[in-house]
Each structure stands twice: as C-alpha cells, then as structure tokens.
Chains A and B, each alone.
Chain A
Amino acid sequence: MADQVLPDELEQRIRIYEDPANDPGGFKGADWAVIIGTGIVLPVVCILIGWNVGWPS
C-alpha cells in the first residue's frame, strides 16, 4: 500500500484525517440518546399504541 502513489490533492486530504487531532471520532452520549430514543423507543411505543388504537370494527 505504501508504494502506491495517490494524486497530490487526495494525498493531502488523507493526511489531514490521519492526524488524530482531525478525527472527530464517533457518536457522543447525547447522540446515542437521540438515536436510541427515535430509532428504538419510538418504534416500540408506536407498535404498542398502534395495536390498541383506532381499528374500526
């Protein structure tokens, strides 16, 4: 891999992110709260309510 020559512009862009100072990392605690709240808790609540509400007889 080290032998491969990448275009200068691409090389420059890659080096930016190889510096740990420029790596923003992953999701933070509050992000996980939003993701779990809207992606797991909300669907579960919708399913529970949907089973019991508004079915015309």
Chain B
Amino acid sequence: MSDDTINAVEGERGETSWPLKPSERLWNRKSLFVVLMVAASATWCYIIGEYVGYYLPLWPGFLAMTAGAMIGMLLVTLAVVPTSSRFGVDSIKAAVPQFGHNGWIITVTLQYLSIIGWNALLLIFFGRSVSRFLNAIGLGDENLANVVVPLATVGACILVFIILMRGATGLERVAMWLFAFIIGVGAWLIIMLLLKQGDALAVAVPAYASDKQLDFQYGIEIGLVSLLSWWPYIGSMTREARSPSIAAAPSMLGMGLPVPILSFVGLAAILVLETSDPSGWLTDVGGNFFGALALLFIIAANFGTAVAGLYASTVGIKAVPFLNKVPWNMALLISILPVVVIGIFFPNWVFDNFGTFVAYIGVFFAPLCGIQIIDYFLLRRGKISIRGLYAKGPDAPYGYWLGINPAALIGMAVGVWTYLYLLDPISYAIRDPFALVGASVPAALLAAAAYAIVTLVVIRPLNKGGYRS
C-alpha cells in the first residue's frame, strides 16, 4: 500500500491530522460530554486533591481547586475549541496559525511529554489498584505489587493498543461503558468519606498551612495548572463534534467540573487518612466487598483516561512531517512505547515529582493558551485559513520564517519568564504578587500581550501570518 493510500484510508476513518469531514463528525453534545468526562475522571484527581490538601482545609480547598480548575478550563476551551471543532482538527493543528507550520516542534513536544508524564502517573495507580484488588479478593499479599504493577502496565498498554486500532470509535465505545460506573462509584467514594470521616474532616488542619491568602492561591494555582493539562487532549475529542457550539458546554462541564469534584476524594483522604491513593485505604474504610468494587472503578477510570490520552498523542504524532505517513498502528506504538518503558522502569519518577510536573505544565501551557486566545479572538477575529493549516513554504499563510512565528516564540519566552519569576516549580518559592494573582494567569496575559505587540509592530506590517488575506 502506498503512503498516500495509507493516509487516504486512515483519512476515511479520521485518524490523521487532516480535517475530519462533517459526515465523519458524529459526536453530539451528550457523547462528547461523556467522552470528555471519562477522559478527565482518573486517579490523577486524587493526587491533585492531595497537593491542595497540604495547604488548605476541606471546603476552602475544594472551592479554591474548583475556581482554579474552571479558570484553567476556560483558557483551554477558548484556546483550542474554536478552531478544532470548527474544522475538525486536533490541538496541534489548531495552533498552526499562531506558531507556524513548523510550530509542531514546540506543540507536539509539549503534548508528548505531558501525556507521557500523566500516563506514567496513571499507570502507577492502575497497577497498584489491580494489586490491591487481587489482595481484596484474597489473592496474595502486599508483595504481589512488585510483580503485578509492571505486568498490569504492559497489559493495560496492550489493551489500549487493541482498542485504539479502531481509532476514535474505540474511544467513544469505551467511554460509554465507563460513564455510569465512574459517576456511581465516584459519588460513593465522596459520600463514604463524608459519612465516615465528616467530624475529623471538619477540624483537619493541612500539614503545610501557613498564610491564608498564600495557601488559597496555591489551591487555585494547583487546580488551574491541572486543567491546563487538557490542552493536548481536548482537540482530538472536540474535533469529533461538528461545531464550536456543540463542543462549548461539554468542554466546560464535562472536562472541567469532574476534576475538582473527584479531587475532593484525594483532598479529604490526605487530610484525615494521610494518603490520597484510594487503593491504600479503600478496603480499610469500605470493607473488602465495597473496597474491591471501588478499586474496579479506579482501574476502569484510569484505563478510560489512558485510552483518551494515547489517542490524542497519536493524532498529534501524525502532525509531525516525517511521521505523518507512518500507518496509524505504528504511530500508536510510538505513542505507547515510552509509557511502557517509564511505567516499568521509572514509574515513581513522575509520582515523586508531581508538584514540579504540574507546575511545569503551567509554565508552558498557560502562555500557549494566552497566545492562541488573543490571536484567534482579537487579532484574527476568528478568520482562519483551513488551507493554511496544511500549506507549507514561505508564501503559505502560516509560513512566517522557516515555518516558525517569532511572535509566538517571544510570547512564550515572556510567559515562561513571568511564570518562573512568580513561582519556582521546583521549590514552590514565590515572589510578589503571586499570593494575589497566582502565576498561570499573569503568564498567559503577558504572553498574549507580547505576542500581540510583536504581531502588530512586525508580523502584520511585513504581510506575514495571513492577517491581511
């Protein structure tokens, strides 16, 4: 089969970075909501809650996390959804007008690293949950984890590969199966914690509580950067809806709200049980039967998210020029293999450095969102050349210089510098005015401002970027 034939056949199934035809984009609000919700509802929510629980008590923590999460979702939705669900393209292609047709060097790298990191984290939880589940039904002891965790990692990756051989169809079917299960057991976890630990939760004081305003801002920031992680994921799913109008509400409600709600479990658990990982306390608090049932939920929820994440990164890989002609299954393998390697050999690396990992997500994705938003809504007023997303060369609308837009590079540099000035991602040391405004929002705003200035002063007068067409 020739390369063009491969792309044409995959194009028929929608598994390339080419725009999906309207006739291929069949997800309505409900199916998009379900897929996005299943993608968002994973055990990373528990570790997000755990980090907020180091600084804030239960209800302030939940509210700060919710505020941050919804601001993060707002940035991601405004940055990606207008282009992705208008033309049926993924997050990487949606960023071409701002970054140029070689801008994938930045966006695919960020997407790939982010999704590998999150999936490595998921797979630790996945393996631990499988091991605890086997313990709960009377098989083996705690040492079983040494064998089960790597085996479960490999098993999950093989299963994800098989499901995603069917592309987005596989993703939608898995999501529909997992939806009710995730809702039901997630609600049960929250109710059980409130009923059994309600009194302790009311008086629980966070381990690192210090200044009220600063702690509250940490809570908002952790919620916000966690949701910025959806940038790489969301485009590959919202492209399946026929218009931004269909995708708007599912994006905000389906992908935004479940995170703080499920993070409530991790927040409550770290405050009173001193561990956010439910596989560590479910059987103790819920008993063997309900504990085992809830562990099944964790296994299922993580699996659904891993499917969505690896689908998104595979579509992203197809946007890379030298990889766009490899068959879908090969691209899928390229996407999954690093997760297998990290899951088996360095699983605790991401887990042990979670705070730094999410902060670095904010470092890069906040400026990225700011640049996309100001460009689409203010500078271009929604005018995007669909042909320009794929055309190459110096005369192409998004050709810029060598396919890279210097305004985006300068905007990113300003945004990254702003974030790093306000919040050190490693030590979490802060500078004023972090306690008042956080780090991600100023990074997004200043990146957007720098991008707009360079565009208006340099790019547009030189007739680059397709602003005058």
- Are A17's CB and B87's CB within 8 A? yes
- Are A6's CB and B390's CB within 8 A? yes
- Are B86's CB and A10's CB within 8 A? no
Partner of A22, one of B22, B203, B219: B22
**Interface of chain A: mostly helix, strand, loop or mixed:** helix
> How far does the alpha carbon of A51 sit from the alpha carbon of B59 in the complex, in Å?
10
Q: Hey, what's the 0/1 contact readout for A45-56 against B, CB within 8 Å counting as 1?
A: 011011101111
Partner of B204, one of A28, A44, A56: A56
- Are B396's CB and A43's CB within 8 A? no
Is B123 in the interface zone, CB < 8 Å from A? no
- Knowing A17-B87, A53-B59, say if A10 contacts B66 (CB, 8 Å): no
- Knowing A38-B253, A43-B71, say if A7 contacts B4 (CB, 8 Å): yes
B375 to chain A, nearest CB (A): 14
- Knowing A35-B252, A54-B58, A56-B202, say if A43 contacts B216 (CB, 8 Å): no
Partner of A26, one of B60, B70, B74, B86: B86
Q: Which of A7-28 contact B (CB under 8 A)?
A: 7-10, 13-14, 16-18, 22-28
Residues of B within 8 A of A38 (CB): 70, 73-74, 252-253, 256-257
Q: Hey, what's the 0/1 contact readout for A28-45 against B, CB within 8 Å counting as 1?
A: 101100110011101110
- Are A14's CB and B390's CB within 8 A? yes
- Are A26's CB and B19's CB within 8 A? no
- Are B244's CB and A24's CB within 8 A? yes
Q: Hey, what's the 0/1 contact readout for B77-94 against A, CB within 8 Å counting as 1?
A: 110001001111000000
- Knowing A13-B19, A26-B86, A50-B216, say if A43 contacts B252 (CB, 8 Å): no
Residues of A within 8 A of B74 (CB): 35, 38-40
Residues of A within 8 A of B387 (CB): 1, 14, 18
> How far does the alpha carbon of A56 sit from the alpha carbon of B219 in the complex, in Å?
16
Residues of A within 8 A of B248 (CB): 27, 31, 34-35
For B, the interface residue count at a CB cutoff of 8 angstroms equals 60
Is B64 in the interface zone, CB < 8 Å from A? yes
> How far does the alpha carbon of A30 sit from the alpha carbon of B257 in the complex, in Å?
19
Q: How large is the interface on A (under 10, 10 to 19, 20 to 34, 35 or more residues)?
A: 35 or more
Which B residue sits closest to A12, measured CB to CB?
A: B21
A34 to chain B, nearest CB (A): 5
Residues of B within 8 A of A51 (CB): 60, 216
Q: Hey, what's the 0/1 contact readout for B378-398 against A, CB within 8 Å counting as 1?
A: 000010001110111101110
Q: Which of B360-413 contact A (CB under 8 A)?
A: 382, 386-388, 390-393, 395-397, 399
- Are B245's CB and A28's CB within 8 A? yes
Is B435 in the interface zone, CB < 8 Å from A? no
- Knowing A24-B245, A31-B244, A54-B60, say if A1 contacts B396 (CB, 8 Å): yes
Q: Which of B184-227 contact A (CB under 8 A)?
A: 202-205, 212, 216, 219-220
> How far does the alpha carbon of A22 sit from the alpha carbon of B21 in the complex, in Å?
10
Residues of A within 8 A of B70 (CB): 38-39, 42-43, 46
Is B97 in the interface zone, CB < 8 Å from A? no
- Are B19's CB and A50's CB within 8 A? no
Which one of B71, B88, B219 has the highest number of Cβ atoms from chain A below 10 Å of its Cβ?
B71
Partner of A10, one of B71, B216, B390: B390
Residues of B within 8 A of A43 (CB): 66-68, 70-71
> How far does the alpha carbon of A47 sit from the alpha carbon of B219 in the complex, in Å?
10
Residues of A within 8 A of B (CB): 1, 4, 6-10, 13-14, 16-18, 22-28, 30-31, 34-35, 38-40, 42-44, 46-47, 49-51, 53-56
- The 5 A-B residue pairs with the shortest CB-CB distance in the complex, in nearest-first order: A39-B74, A54-B59, A50-B63, A24-B243, A31-B248
